[in-house]
Amino acid sequence: MSNRIHKPKDCINDRYEIISYIGEGGMQEVFRARDLILEREVALKVPKNSSAEKRFQRSSIISAKVNHPNVAKTLDYFKIGSSEYLIEELIIGRDLKVVIQKEFKCIDPYLVSRMLHHLAKGLAASHHVDVIHRDLKPSNVMIGGGATLSELKITDFGIAKMAEDEISQAIKGGDESISSSKTAFGAIPYMAPETIEIQNFASMPSDIWALGAIAYELLSGTKPFGEGFNAIPKILNALPPPKPKWIDENLQFRTIGNSVYDVILSCLQKDPTLRPTADELVSLCEGFCYSTVERKLGKFKDFYPKRTNQGFIQSEDGSNVFFHFDSVYGEKPVIGSKVSFAEFIGNPYNRAHPVVVMRDSEDI
């Protein structure tokens, strides 16, 4: 706590009172604060070092140009002495990196298609005002809506520009430099070939590549080209990552799964001119048939009597929900497995579809 820039009850600019510490990235610390004038909670961001401060104001101006429900809104920017501050919309939830690492082992193609659709719309809104994200990755996507993952907002559009120099230097320094830089290590799995070949180069097509890499990780549970220094030659070769085996295992997921996978591959074309634009990606996603039914959490309680491919989930509300293993995307559950599912009316029991096994403490 003593090393953090601010502590609870600090009042910044006679307006923003620090409530709690949220977290930090390579460039900034983030706090939950209360706007004493408008009586609302906000995210307060402050650069961690002088290198970050150099571009903070410019980054604030850039990010403020984007106005879309799937983009975190920039609300204010100011300086106090040598310190700079960015105020953003507060999203109650967690970032997508946490979802991947601590919650979901993989996500079914119905939900991935919806997530990709909304993120593409946010990206399209930024590209319409000539704003390139430059560092799109799971930690820069905020998620709300519990297990449903219904609220998605891209963050740090402008601040991502500040990471370019650090990433460039780390790549030039090789494996050891990449491993020692959290910024570079986290960014490389989502970097397009041209951003690695031409240092400090980013474009709208490189944002599309990053979104495709994120979607593949959600669908498969693995990064498309690995991570760290070893990912670089694979990214430069741009060989299509393998189709997740679960797509074709069950007929329930085959049609939409293949459609989502094909769209992902279009985003991961080595030639930037062959990738869809953000608007084209939105149009492609509009062709997906996905449900917006709320997702719930529960545990695999027991098998259906004398059946090894059917069973019951005990929902968090205590009710029993029937499911068939054909409705499971990803690894199969065992009794006691924590699962995420959508529930539909059935007789004599409601039916769960799709079903996805969640992580537990032993997986983390």
pLDDT digits (tens, 9 = 90+) for 309-326: 999 999 999 999 999 999
Query: What is the distance between the alpha carbons of residues 20 and 33, in angstroms, rounded to a whole number?
Result: 7
Q: Is the pLDDT of residue 252 over 60?
A: yes
* Global confidence as pTM: 0.90
Only one residue has tokens 């919650």, namely: 103
H-helix or E-strand containing 141? strand 141-144
pLDDT at 364: 40
H-helix or E-strand containing 205? helix 204-220
Q: Is the pLDDT of residue 184 over 90?
A: no
3-state secondary structure of 355: strand
Q: 14-52 burial, b if ≥16 CB within 10 A, otherwise e?
A: ebbbbbebeebbbbbbbbbbbbeeeeeebbbbbbeeeeb
Least confident residue range of 149-163, 169-183, 215-229, 243-257: 169-183
Average pLDDT, the chain: 89
Strands of the 94-95 sheet, one edge to the other: 94-95, 141-144, 151-154
CB 276 within 8 A of CB 208: yes
Q: Is the pLDDT of residue 176 over 80?
A: no
Q: Is the pLDDT of residue 178 over 60?
A: no
3-state secondary structure of 344: strand
| pLDDT above 70: percentage of residues in the chain | 86
Side-chain half-sphere exposure of 295, counting CA atoms within 13 A: 25
Overall average pLDDT of the 288-303 stretch: 95
3-state secondary structure of 279: helix
Least confident residue range of 126-135, 163-172, 194-203, 296-305: 163-172
Rounded to 10 degrees, what is the CA torsion of 55, 61, 66, 67? 130
pLDDT at 183: 58
The radius of gyration computed from the CA coordinates of the chain, to the nearest angstrom, equals 21
pLDDT at 185: 60
Residue 180 pLDDT grade (very low, low, confident, very high; cuts 50, 70, 90): low
Domains of the chain (ranges; CATH) run: 11-89 (3.30.200.20), 94-286 (1.10.510.10), 295-363 (2.40.50.140)
Helices and strands, counts by H and E, the chain: 13, 15
228 or 316: which leads in pLDDT:
316
